[in-house]
Structure 1
Amino acid sequence: MNSSISSNHRASRLKFLLVVFIFAAPVIAAALLNLSGWQPTGHGYGEPIMPQRNFDQEHVQIRLANGQDWVWRDTSPRLTLIALAGPDCAAHCMEALTKMAAARITLNNNADRLRLLYVGQPPADAAANGMENYWSLGSDVNSSLATYRPAAPDSVSALLVESDGTALTRYPAGFDPSGLRKDLQKVIR
């Protein structure tokens, strides 16, 4: 009888150790991968902004068309997508802006978690194209964002800014709007 109790204890211990191993194995594997220097990489379409900048702390002043200043820290946590047009924003620039606004629409119920801000001289036909229906139009009072503005005519670049004013990602002129849409769908849920 003692041998059957001892056998049951041994089987119970083995089952317990197996359960512990099942739960501990992923933690041990992650620790080993981390110690070896491996880090998972997600494929983003934009370029990370390094060193990071916080537009709120730097007092980057954007003056809206209505005369008010852009508030980086919104009342609710919302990201801001800033479009910066190069000189002479025309057909190609408007096409990119339209695709950027469409990317916001594809967020469906989460579309209100993304604000669209166009900084610069609006295209001549902006009112006719309904640009003001989707974009807040503003100007960079102190040229604080000039380093992100494209130099090529009829082009546009973009910045994705966190709700606290931290610039996260840059999309240089010629970026893929569908890649931007995929990035937005990853970060806004």
Structure 2
Amino acid sequence: MNAPDPFDPKVRRRNRAMLVVIAALFLGSLVVAGALRFSGWRPAGLKNHGELLDPPGDLRTLSPVLADGKRYAWQPIDRTWRIAVVAPRECGDDCMKLARDVDTVWQLFGKDADRVHVLWLCASTPCVYPERAPRPATLRLVQPSAELRGNLPRANAAGGSPVYVIDPNGFAILRYAPGSDPAGLRADLAKLLKLK
């Protein structure tokens, strides 16, 4: 009876090399993923255009008063998102452009537009909205409230009118600096509207 031949050294080296390559691919991908994660890199589709507020502005306990004197309720069960515009005291060309931009963003939501309220946070009484600006169907004029503005991070910063996204529960989660591109607001809110 013939004894089995020992492994061919060439085959053994080739198998070991293949095992080293597989281990290097596996461990190398883990190292690259870890490096990307800890460097702060995120895929473009996961980035938001607005500033993520941490901690978010908590408006749940506030009950804003509308221009007609009625209270605005947050009603989380309705899953309504809000675009809150901190309006300036006097509405000039920048204010008019902002009102048009917000209306355009609102209209682009199409069938989901009813799930987005536009809150125009007035700076003075009587509450004024630009006369020649289009009015979204879900526009709500909110009477001046120092407490409401105080719970919105950097709402009174100089340089224009910031815009906020408020979630259905009443948390201000995103802030857009004055003069921000409205396309970023639309993109961020479109992603949020897909959440159930």
Could you state the TM-score of these two structures normalised by the residue count of structure 1?
A: 0.70
Q: 2:110 aligns with which of 103, 108, 115?
A: 108
Query: How far did residue 73 of structure 1 move?
Result: 2.2
Q: 1:166 aligns with which of 156, 167, 171?
A: 171
**Ranges in structure 2 where 5+ consecutive residues have no aligned partner:** 1-25
Matched-pair contact (CA < 8 Å) for 2:162–2:177: yes
Could you state the TM-score of these two structures normalised by the residue count of structure 2?
A: 0.67
In the superposition, relative to structure 1, how do residues 82 and 124 fare at CA in structure 2: closer, same or farther (>3 Å)?
Answer: closer
For residues 116-167 of structure 1, the C-alpha deviation after alignment (integer angstroms, 9 at most, x for no partner) is: 11001454643x5353745210124343314413433xx3211101101111
What residue in structure 1 maps to residue 155 of structure 2? 148
Matched-pair contact (CA < 8 Å) for 2:165–2:172: yes
C-alpha separation between the residues in 2 aligned to 1:106 and 1:140? 28
C-alpha separation between the residues in 2 aligned to 1:171 and 1:139? 21
Match of 2:162, SS state, is: strand
Query: How far did residue 44 of structure 1 move?
Result: 1.3
In the superposition, relative to structure 1, how do residues 73 and 94 fare at CA in structure 2: closer, same or farther (>3 Å)?
Answer: same
Equivalent residues in 2 for 1:38-187, closer than 5 Å: 41=42, 42-56=46-60, 59-121=61-123, 122-123=127-128, 125-126=130-131, 128-131=132-135, 133-146=137-150, 147-152=154-159, 155-187=160-192
What residue in structure 2 maps to residue 12 of structure 1? none
C-alpha separation between the residues in 2 aligned to 1:95 and 1:101? 10
How many residue pairs align between the two structures? 159
Matched-pair contact (CA < 8 Å) for 1:81–1:160: yes
Query: Looking at CA atoms only, which structure, 1 or 2, has the larger radius of gyration?
Result: 2
Amino acid at match of 1:129: A
What residue in structure 2 maps to residue 16 of structure 1? none
For residues 155-183 of structure 1, the C-alpha deviation after alignment (integer angstroms, 9 at most, x for no partner) is: 32111011011111011211111211121
Match of 2:148, SS state, is: coil
Query: How far did residue 33 of structure 1 move?
Result: 4.2
In the superposition, relative to structure 1, how do residues 67 and 75 fare at CA in structure 2: closer, same or farther (>3 Å)?
Answer: farther
For residues 90-137 of structure 1, the C-alpha deviation after alignment (integer angstroms, 9 at most, x for no partner) is: 2211111111111111111111111111001454643x5353745210
